[in-house]
C-alpha cells in the first residue's frame, strides 16, 4: 500500500523552518507571525502522526486526510525553499557587483527592500497554507489521535524450533557448514555466537531449525534452547523465556531481575547448551552485553554455543566477533522443486507439463528467495487453469494479494523497522528499474537535491549523511554492494525489495513509458522511457508538482523529444529539483534560468551543447552540475556564479580554464576534469576552493603537473589522476615553508601515467599522518619507490598493478605498522623479488601489528603469494 511519508516530510519542513535565517524572513513583510503559526501547527500535527500511521489502514477517512496533509506539507516546503532562492539571488547580485563599491554599498543598504511583488506573494502563500491547515483541523481533530512515542516498529513474530526436514529444499550444504562451526572450540569464557544474516524470507530461521533438530547437534549439546526474540530485546523477558524453556515448571512471571539471574545460573550450571536467538533486531550493544555476561562460563573456556538469526549485519557485528554466515538464494532447480511442492498435491504436477513450463518463468521472479517461491506456489495451489498461472507470471509480486506470513508482509517488517528518513530514501530507489546498477554518489546527490537527508551535524557534510544512510541500508541487507571504486561504489537491490518499494512509493515515484495511460497528479519523481516519445510527453503535460526527471539513456531518442521535454520541464515543473538528460540535445533554452529550485543537472554526454545559455547563472540553487562529454569550448563565467555548487564535472576543448575568482565555489566538494584533451594546466585560483575534498583528473592528456596552490586545499581528501599521458607530477622546487606542510589527503590513485617517474613528495609527506590508501597502476616508467614512502604511517592499503619496471619496495616496509593490504600484480620484477622474500615480509609485518594483514602477489593472472594473518591458512606460496 502506498505510503504518505508524512512523518518524514513534517520533520524536514520543521527542520527547514528552524534553519530559516533572520535575513530570509525579512524578505517578506509581516510574515514572522504567520511562519510561527505554521510551525506551531505542524508541531502539533507531527506529535500525533505516529498514532495516525498506525490507524490509517483501518480508517479510510483518516488516510485521505493524511494525503491532503501531505500535499500541504509539500507546498510549505516549496514556500520555504522560495525564501532560500530569493536569498541566493540577493547574494549573487552583491557578489556580481563587487567591482563597484558604491553599488555594493547601495545594494547592501537595500537588501531588505526587495520587490514588493515577492513580499506580497510570500505573505499570501503563507496565509493560504495556514488557512488550508485550519480547514483540515476540524476533520483531523475528530480522529481523536494521541501523542505517542516512536515505538511504531515493535512487532512480535513467533517462531518455533520444529521443522519438517522433508519440506526444506536446497539447504543441506548450509546446514553442514553451520554444524562444523558449532564443533569448533571456544577461545575464551564468552559463549561463541554464530550469526546467520540475510534478507527476510531467505530461510535463516529454517536453516537454524534444521541445525537445531539434527541428531549430531542433539548429541553435541544435551541442552537446547530456542527463543524467538523478535523486536523486544528485554533482558527480563529473555531470561524468563530461557528459564521456562529449560524448566517449564519454574514460575518466574513475578520474579525481579536478581532472582531471574540466580535461577538462570542454577539451571545452566554444568550444562552444555545450544541457545538459538531467532529474529533479533536489537542494535543496542549494552543490552546484548548484559545477556552475554550472564551466559559466560564461570570457569575455563565456554563449551556452549549461540546461533543468532537476523536481517542486520550491524546486529551480527554487535553480537559476534566472527564473520556472519550469509546463506545464498536457492538455485533455479531447487526453487522449481519447492514451488511444485506448494502448487500441487504430491505427484499431480506430472499431469500438467504446460503449467510446469509457466512455473519455471514464475520462480525466476523470486530470485532464489524460498518464501517468495512458497508465496507464489500457495497462490496457485489446486489451480489448473493456465490463465491463472499466466496472470501470476505477468503480474508484479507487489500487486498480488498476500497473507501476513507471505513474502511482501515479511519484507515490510524490515521496511517498518527503518527510521522514517531511511524509509523515504529507500522508497526513492524504486524510481530505477529492476536489476539496475545503482551508483552511490549519484544516489546521494539525488537524495540531497530532493531534501531527503537530515541536516548535517557539526563537522559533517551533506554527502557524509548520504553515505551513512547507504551504509545503514547495506547493514540491513536491503541493498547489496557490487563493486567498490574507492570514491564511490555500485550496488543492487533484490527484485523482491524492489517490489516492496514500488508498493510503498506508488504516489511518489513513477516510471513513464508509452504504455502509461495516467499518472497521479501529485507524483514527485519520474523515470522516462521513451519508446514512443509523443505518448510520454502527453502524459507529462498534466503534471505540475514533479521534483525529479530522469530520462533513461536511449540511442533511439530524437532531438525533437529532448527539446520538447526540456521546454515542458521549464514551463510545467517550477519546483523541479533534479534533471538528468543525457541526450543528443544541441542547446539548452534560455528559459532554463527560471528553474530556480533546480539543484542537480546532469547533461553528461550531451555532445551537441557547445555553450550554455546566458540565463544559466540564475540556477543559483544548483548543487551538482555534470557536463562530462559535452561539447563546451570554455566554461563560462556564469558557472562561477553558482555559489551553492558542491559537485562539478566538466569537459571543455580549451587549453586553459578561466581563473577561479575569490569567493566563487566556496562550497565545492568535488571537481572532476573529464576528457579535457587540450587542457595544459589547472586553472589559476585553485587555492580559493577551500571546501574541496575530491579532485579527479581523467583523460587530460596534455596536463603535466599539479599547481602548488593545491597546498592551500587543507580539506582535500581524495586525489585521482587517470590516463593523463604527460602527467609527471614534478612540482616547482619545494619552498622552505612547505617542509611542515599539513594536508589531509586520505586516498591517492595514480592510474596509467606513462610519464610518471617519481611520486609527488610534498603532497604525500604533507599527508603522512592521514593517507590511508595508495594505488599505483600501469605507471610503466616508475622504477623505484622512494624511501620516504615509509613515513606514511597511516597507510592501510598499498596496491601496485602493471608497473612493469618497478623493481623494489623500500627497505624496512615493516615500518608501515598500519598496513592491512598489500597487493602486487603485473609487476614481474617485484613479483620475482618478493616471491623469494614472501615469508620474510609477511613475518616482519605480522610481528609489527596486532590486526589482520593481507598480502597478495600475482603475475599474469597466477597467484604467486597469498598471505592472511589471523586466518587459518596463513601463508601460501604457489608454484607457477
- Angstrom distance (rounded) from CA 441 to CA 446: 9
Least confident segment among 313-322, 671-680, 763-772, 847-856: 847-856
CB 631 within 8 A of CB 654: no
pLDDT at 811: 85
Angle at CA 357, nearest 5°, toward 353 and 359? 110
Least confident segment among 491-495, 645-649, 862-866: 862-866
- Angstrom distance (rounded) from CA 294 to CA 468: 33
Spell out the alpha helix ranges (H) of 718-848.
761-765, 828-847
- Angstrom distance (rounded) from CA 429 to CA 442: 11
Question: Residue 532 — pLDDT band, cuts 50, 70, 90?
Answer: low
Q: What is the mean pLDDT of residues 849-853?
A: 54
- Angstrom distance (rounded) from CA 265 to CA 836: 56
pLDDT digits (tens, 9 = 90+) for 36-71: 999 999 999 999 998 998 899 889 999 999 999 999
Task: Provide the CA 696 distance to its chain's centre, in angstroms.
Answer: 22
Task: Provide the CA 682 distance to its chain's centre, in angstroms.
Answer: 32
Quote the pTM value: 0.91
Strand arrangement, sheet containing 438-439: 438-439, 489-492, 480-484
Would you say residue 243 has pLDDT above 90? yes
Task: Provide the CA 725 distance to its chain's centre, in angstroms.
Answer: 34
pLDDT at 90: 87
Cell 563449551, located at residue: 303
pLDDT at 807: 87
Would you say residue 878 has pLDDT above 70? no
- Separation of first and last alpha carbons in the chain: 59
Per-residue cell: 729: 607530477
Q: What is the mean pLDDT of residues 85-92?
A: 90
Would you say residue 557 has pLDDT above 60? no
Phi, psi of 770 (to 5 degrees): -120, -25
pLDDT digits (tens, 9 = 90+) for 117-147: 788 888 899 999 999 999 999 899 999 899 8
- Which residues sit opposite 439 in a β-bridge? 490
Residues whose CB falls within 8 Å of the CB of residue 472, separated by 6 or more in sequence, listed in order: 314, 418, 422
Could you tell me what percent of the chain has a pLDDT over 70? Answer: 89
- Angstrom distance (rounded) from CA 35 to CA 21: 12
Question: Residue 530 — pLDDT band, cuts 50, 70, 90?
Answer: low
pLDDT digits (tens, 9 = 90+) for 95-104: 877 644 544 4
CB 757 within 8 A of CB 781: yes
Per-residue cell: 476: 540491513
Where b means 16+ CB within 10 Å and e means fewer, 680-693 reads eebbebbebbebbb
Question: Residue 192 — pLDDT band, cuts 50, 70, 90?
Answer: very high
Question: Residue 871 — pLDDT band, cuts 50, 70, 90?
Answer: very low
pLDDT at 775: 97
- Angstrom distance (rounded) from CA 867 to CA 822: 10
pLDDT digits (tens, 9 = 90+) for 685-702: 999 999 999 999 999 999
Would you say residue 874 has pLDDT above 80? no
Would you say residue 89 has pLDDT above 50? yes
- Angstrom distance (rounded) from CA 785 to CA 758: 7
- Angstrom distance (rounded) from CA 645 to CA 622: 6
Strand arrangement, sheet containing 193-197: 193-197, 305-310, 273-280, 223-230
Concatenating the DSSP letter of every residue in 185-247 gives PPSSSSPPEEEEE--TTSSHHHHHHHHHT-HHHHHH-SEEEEEEEET---HHHHHHHHHHHH-
CB 86 within 8 A of CB 111: no
All structural domains of the chain, each given as residue ranges with its CATH number in brackets, are 6-141 (no CATH), 165-319 (3.40.50.300), 332-407 (no CATH), 428-504 (1.10.10), 741-880 (3.80.10)
- Angstrom distance (rounded) from CA 172 to CA 166: 11
CB 597 within 8 A of CB 619: no
Dihedral in degrees, nearest 10, Cα atoms 194, 199, 203, 209: 30
Question: Residue 23 — pLDDT band, cuts 50, 70, 90?
Answer: low
pLDDT digits (tens, 9 = 90+) for 469-528: 999 999 999 999 999 999 999 999 999 999 999 999 999 999 998 788 889 999 999 999
Helix axes 420-428, 462-475, angle to 10 degrees: 90
- Angstrom distance (rounded) from CA 75 to CA 129: 8
Residues whose CB falls within 8 Å of the CB of residue 716, separated by 6 or more in sequence, listed in order: 692, 693, 694, 695, 710, 743, 744, 745
Would you say residue 540 has pLDDT above 60? yes
Per-residue cell: 648: 562539478
Report CA-CA distances (Å) from 540 to 511, 517, 537. Answer: 11, 11, 5
Dihedral in degrees, nearest 10, Cα atoms 125, 128, 129, 133: 170
CB 368 within 8 A of CB 331: yes
Q: What is the mean pLDDT of residues 353-367?
A: 96
Amino acid at each position: 500500500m502506498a505510503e504518505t511519508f508524512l512523518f518524514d516530510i513534517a520533520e524536514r519542513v520543521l527542520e527547514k523552518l528552524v534553519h530559516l535565517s533572520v535575513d530570509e524572513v525579512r524578505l517578506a513583510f509581516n510574515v514572522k507571525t504567520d511562519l510561527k503559526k505554521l510551525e506551531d501547527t505542524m508541531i502539533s500535527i507531527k506529535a500525533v502522526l505516529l498514532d495516525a500511521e498506525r490507524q490509517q489502514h483501518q480508517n479510510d477517512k483518516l488516510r485521505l486526510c493524511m494525503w491532503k496533509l501531505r500535499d500541504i506539507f509539500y507546498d510549505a516546503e516549496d514556500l520555504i525553499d522560495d525564501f532560500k532562492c530569493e536569498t541566493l539571488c540577493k547574494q549573487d547580485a552583491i557578489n556580481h557587483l563587487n567591482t563597484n563599491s558604491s553599488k555594493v554599498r547601495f545594494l547592501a543598504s537595500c537588501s531588505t527592500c526587495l520587490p514588493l511583488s515577492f513580499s506580497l506573494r510570500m505573505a499570501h502563500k503563507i496565509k493560504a497554507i495556514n488557512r488550508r491547515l485550519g480547514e483540515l483541523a476540524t476533520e483531523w481533530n475528530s480522529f481523536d489521535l494521541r501523542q505517542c512515542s516512536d515505538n511504531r516498529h515493535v512487532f512480535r513474530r513467533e517462531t518455533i524450533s520444529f521443522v519438517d526436514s522433508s519440506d526444506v529444499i536446497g539447504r543441506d550444504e548450509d546446514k553442514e557448514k553451520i554444524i562444523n562451526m558449532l564443533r569448533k572450540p571456544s577461545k575464551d569464557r564468552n559463549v561463541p555466537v554464530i550469526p546467520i544474516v540475510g534478507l527476510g524470507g531467505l530461510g535463516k530461521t529454517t536453516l537454524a531449525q534444521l541445525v537445531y533438530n539434527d541428531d549430531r547437534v542433539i548429541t553435541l549439546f544435551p541442552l537446547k534452547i530456542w527463543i524467538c526474540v523478535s523486536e523486544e530485546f528485554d533482558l527480563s523477558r529473555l531470561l524468563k523465556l530461557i528459564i521456562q524453556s529449560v524448566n517449564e515448571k519454574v514460575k518466574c512471571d513475578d520474579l525481579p531481575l536478581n532472582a531471574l539471574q540466580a535461577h538462570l545460573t542454577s539451571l545452566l550450571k554444568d550444562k552444555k547448551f545450544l541457545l538459538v536467538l531467532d529474529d533479533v533486531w536489537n542494535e543496542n550493544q549494552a543490552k546484548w552485553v548484559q545477556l552475554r555476561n550472564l551466559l559466560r562460563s564461570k570457569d575455563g573456556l565456554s563449551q556452549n554455543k549461540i546461533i543468532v538469526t537476523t536481517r542486520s549485519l550491524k546486529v551480527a557485528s554487535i553480537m559476534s566477533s566472527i564473520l556472519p554466515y550469509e546463506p545464498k538464494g536457492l538455485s533455479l532447480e531447487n526453487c522449481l522443486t519447492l514451488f511444485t511442492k506448494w502448487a500441487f498435491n504430491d505427484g499431480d504436477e506430472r499431469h500438467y507439463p504446460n503449467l510446469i513450463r509457466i512455473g519455471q518463468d514464475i520462480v525466476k521472479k523470486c530470485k532464489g528467495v524460498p518464501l517468495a517461491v512458497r508465496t507464489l506456489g500457495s497462490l496457485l495451489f489446486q489451480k489448473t487453469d493456465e490463465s491463472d498461472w499466466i496472470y501470476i507470471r505477468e503480474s508484479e509480486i507487489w500487486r498480488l494479494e498476500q497473507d501476513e506470513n507471505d513474502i511482501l508482509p515479511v519484507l515490510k517488517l524490515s521496511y517498518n523497522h527503518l527510521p522514517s528518513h531511511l524509509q523515504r530514501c529507500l522508497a526513492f530507489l524504486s524510481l530505477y528499474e529492476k536489476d539496475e546498477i545503482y551508483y552511490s554518489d549519484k544516489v546521494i546527490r539525488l537524495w540531497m537535491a530532493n531534501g531527503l537527508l537530515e541536516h548535517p551535524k557539526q563537522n559533517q557534510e551533506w554527502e557524509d549523511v548520504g553515505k551513512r544512510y547507504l551504509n545503514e541500508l547495506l547493514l540491513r541487507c536491503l541493498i547489496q554492494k557490487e563493486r567498490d571504486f574507492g570514491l564511490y561504489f555500485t550496488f543492487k537491490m533484490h527484485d523482491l525489495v524492489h517490489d516492496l518499494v514500488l508498493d510503498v512509493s506508488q504516489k511518489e515515484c513513477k516510471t513513464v513509458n508509452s504504455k502509461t495511460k495516467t499518472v497521479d497528479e501529485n507524483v514527485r519523481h519520474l523515470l522516462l522511457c521513451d519508446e514512443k516519445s509523443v505518448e510520454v510527453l502527453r502524459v507529462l503535460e498534466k503534471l505540475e508538482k514533479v521534483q525529479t526527471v530522469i530520462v533513461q539513456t536511449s540511442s533511439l531518442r530524437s532531438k525533437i523529444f529532448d527539446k520538447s521535454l526540456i521546454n515542458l520541464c521549464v514551463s510545467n515543473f517550477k519546483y523541479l529539483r533534479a534533471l538528468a538528460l543525457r541526450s543528443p540535445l544541441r542547446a539548452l533554452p534560455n528559459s532554463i534560468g527560471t528553474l530556480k529550485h533546480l539543484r542537480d543537472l546532469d547533461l553528461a554526454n550531451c555532445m551537441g551543447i557547445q555553450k550554455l545559455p546566458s540565463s544559466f547563472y540564475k540556477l543559483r540553487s544548483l548543487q551538482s552540475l555534470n557536463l562530462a562529454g559535452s561539447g563546451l569550448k570554455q566554461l563560462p563565467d556564469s558557472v562561477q556564479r553558482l555559489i551553492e555548487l558542491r559537485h562539478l564535472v566538466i569537459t571543455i576543448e580549451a587549453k586553459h580554464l578561466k581563473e577561479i575568482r575569490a569567493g566563487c565555489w566556496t562550497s565545492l566538494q568535488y571537481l572532476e576534469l573529464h576528457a579535457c584533451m587540450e587542457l595544459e594546466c589547472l586553472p589559476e585560483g585553485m587555492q580559493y576552493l577551500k571546501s574541496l575534498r575530491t579532485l579527479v583528473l581523467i583523460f587530460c592528456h596534455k596536463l603535466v603537473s599539479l599547481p602548488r596552490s593545491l597546498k592551500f586545499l587543507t580539506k582535500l581528501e581524495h586525489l585521482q589522476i587517470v590516463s593523463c599521458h604527460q602527467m609527471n607530477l614534478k612540482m616547482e622546487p619545494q619552498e622552505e615553508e612547505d617542509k611542515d606542510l599539513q594536508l589531509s589527503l586520505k586516498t591517492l590513485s595514480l592510474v596509467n601515467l606513462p610519464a610518471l617517474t617519481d611520486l609527488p613528495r610534498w603532497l604525500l609527506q604533507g599527508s603522512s599522518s592521514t593517507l590511508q590508501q595508495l594505488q599505483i597502476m600501469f605507471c610503466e616508467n616508475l622504477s623505484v619507490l622512494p624511501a620516504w614512502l615509509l613515513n606514511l604511517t597511516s597507510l592501510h592499503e598499498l596496491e601496485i598493478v602493471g608497473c612493469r619496471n618497478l623493481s623494489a619496495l623500500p627497505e624496512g616496509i615493516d615500518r608501515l605498522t598500519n598496513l592491512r593490504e598489500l597487493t602486487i600484480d603485473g609487476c614481474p620484477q617485484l613479483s620475482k623479488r618478493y616471491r623469494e622474500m614472501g615469508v620474510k615480509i609477511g613475518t616482519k609485518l605480522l610481528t609489527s601489528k596486532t590486526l589482520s594483514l593481507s598480502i597478495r602477489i600475482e603475475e599474469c593472472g597466477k597467484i604467486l603469494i597469498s598471505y592472511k594473518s589471523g586466518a587459518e591458512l596463513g601463508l601460501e606460496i604457489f608454484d607457477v
